[in-house]
Amino acid sequence: MKFKVAQINDILRRAEFTSEADIPRIHFQDMNLEYYLLAGLVVGALLSMIILKKSSNIKNKI
């Protein structure tokens, strides 16, 4: 991720036509990435359970 962020910062600096333009940055600690990952895991697990439950009900009726 650090490499990709460095690439993006380099592209933005070149777009500004300055060598060291101040680019607003978000630190990884401020993004609360672990909460978004946990929320995605929970939502994905719930959706998978709902989908699998419906498909197993259809098979049982046949």
**Which positions ≥6 away from 13 have C-beta within 8 Å?**
19, 20, 21, 23
Going from the C-alpha of 33 to that of each of 11, 18, 27, 38, the distances in angstroms are: 24, 31, 11, 9
What is the pTM assigned to this prediction?
A: 0.48
What pLDDT is attached to residue 40? 96
**Which positions ≥6 away from 46 have C-beta within 8 Å?**
none
pLDDT for residue 60 is more than 70:
no
What pLDDT is attached to residue 34? 87
**What is the per-residue pLDDT across 8-46, written as a single tens digit (0 to 9) for each?**
777 777 766 555 556 566 676 777 888 999 999 999 999
What pLDDT is attached to residue 6? 78
Taking the C-alpha atoms of residue 27 and residue 2, their distance in angstroms, rounded to an integer, is 11
